[in-house]
Structure 1
Amino acid sequence: MIGTVARKYQNWKRFRSVYNELSRLTPRQLSDIGITRDDIMPLARSSVR
Structure 2
Amino acid sequence: MLNSIAQRIQSFRSHRRTIIELNSMDDRMLSDIGVLRGDIDRMVRVGR
Normalised by the shorter chain, which TM-score bucket? 0.7 to 0.9
2:18 corresponds in structure 1 to 18
CA distance in 2 between partners of 1:12 and 1:34 (Å): 23
2:37 corresponds in structure 1 to 37
When normalised by structure 2's length, the TM-score is: 0.82
Q: Which runs of 5+ in 1 are unaligned?
A: none
2:3 corresponds in structure 1 to 3
Paired-residue identity, %: 34
State the 4+ residue runs in structure 1 displaced beyond 2 angstroms. Answer: none
Q: After superposition, what is the alpha-carbon deviation per residue over 1:6-46, rounded to whole angstroms, capped at 9, x for unaligned?
A: 01111111111110110000011111111111120012113
RMSD value, Cα = 1.3
Q: Which runs of 5+ in 2 are unaligned?
A: none
Structure number with higher relative contact order (C-alpha < 8 Å, ≥ 6 residues apart): 1
